[in-house]
Structure 1
Amino acid sequence: MIIGSRALAALVVVSLLPGCATVVRGTKGKYTITSMPPAADVALSTGQTCVTPCKLKIKRKNGFTATISKPGYVTKTETVESKVSGGGGAAAAGNILAGGIIGGIVDGTNGSLNSFYPKALDVKLDPAPAGSEAAATTTPTSGSN
């Protein structure tokens, strides 16, 4: 059977499109970080920063660490992993079924198949022990002129 030139052109165009997960999910995901108490500083290993509660858009390709700090409290560092998710796996299966080898390669290398674990961070900061460096950095509630 000979494939017509239009059908062949369509096949080539479809095979060159980015992967299904890339189109449907994108390579970045929204990530929420909250803390108790609120208004804590967050510094990610990606270089992004925010103050809790916050929502960041982060590339899914790699995991990251989040360091949460607030004067008067013990600083915590949490690890967030990036792993292939159920939604990403379904998109990968769609690529395989549709024959999109190039799309499968794109999805497999750009992180669009991944999700973050845990899905969000909710960090409880512990008060710093009296006399510790963290306790000493507490901002005074009253000042003098």
Structure 2
Amino acid sequence: MRILCVAVLCAALGGCASVTRGWDENIAISSTPSGAIATITGPSEPQAPCVTPCSIKVKRSDDVSIAFAKEGYEPQIVNLTKEIAPTGAAGFAGNILLGGVVGGVVDAASGAALDHKPNPVIVTMQPIKPPAPAPRVGAKPRKPKPAPTS
């Protein structure tokens, strides 16, 4: 009987996403070219901007947005989405199947079954287009050609 209880307890804990995956997730951030400033908004714990390539640690339940800036390039913003990961779904299902309602509630509230997408976050910075050249001073304006007559 004792072996059966230990086996059930191990199976229940092994299926819990909070235990197997944790509440935090590392997100890798990179850009082409490298050296862009990545400003992170949304996490429950404030994040300092980082220079690409870099990584951050956020709660799985956090809404995260990353703004990229580099001199000479167009700024970009990437909004991350949250999806139920296959391993998170298995852990959540393990809670339900083994009667771990409390574990299921903890996983749902903590976001332990979620992953941020995309991860890694990779952007290709687009160069800022140079402005159109100004008309030359003293240049004669061109006369439009007359339309052909029929």
> When the two structures are superposed, what TM-score results if normalisation uses the length of structure 2?
0.72
Aligned partner of 2:80 in structure 1 is 80
- Partner SS state of residue 62, structure 2: coil
| SS state at 1:93 partner | helix
C-alpha distance in 2, partners of 1:117/1:61?
12
**CA offsets 1:58-82 (integer angstroms, 9 cap, x no match):** 1110331110001111100011101
List alignment gaps of at least 5 residues for structure 2: 132-150
Q: How far off its partner does 1:22 sit? A: 0.8
* Percent of aligned pairs with the same amino acid: 34
CA drift at 1:99: 1.1
Aligned length: 119
Three-state SS of the structure 1 residue aligned to 2:34 is coil
What TM-score do the two structures reach when normalised by structure 1? 0.74
Q: Does 2:113 correspond to 1:113?
A: yes
- State how far apart, in whole Å, the 1-side matches of 2:92 and 2:54 are: 31
Q: Which 5+ residue runs of structure 1 have no aligned equivalent?
A: 1-6, 132-145
- The structure with the larger Rg is 2
Alignment match, 2:35? 39
| In 1: Cα distance, 2:90 partner to 2:56 partner | 25
Q: Which runs of 4+ in 1 moved over 2 A?
A: none
1:67 aligns with 2:67: yes
| Cα-to-partner distance string for 1:12-33 (whole Å, 9 max, x where unaligned) | x99xx8x811111111111001
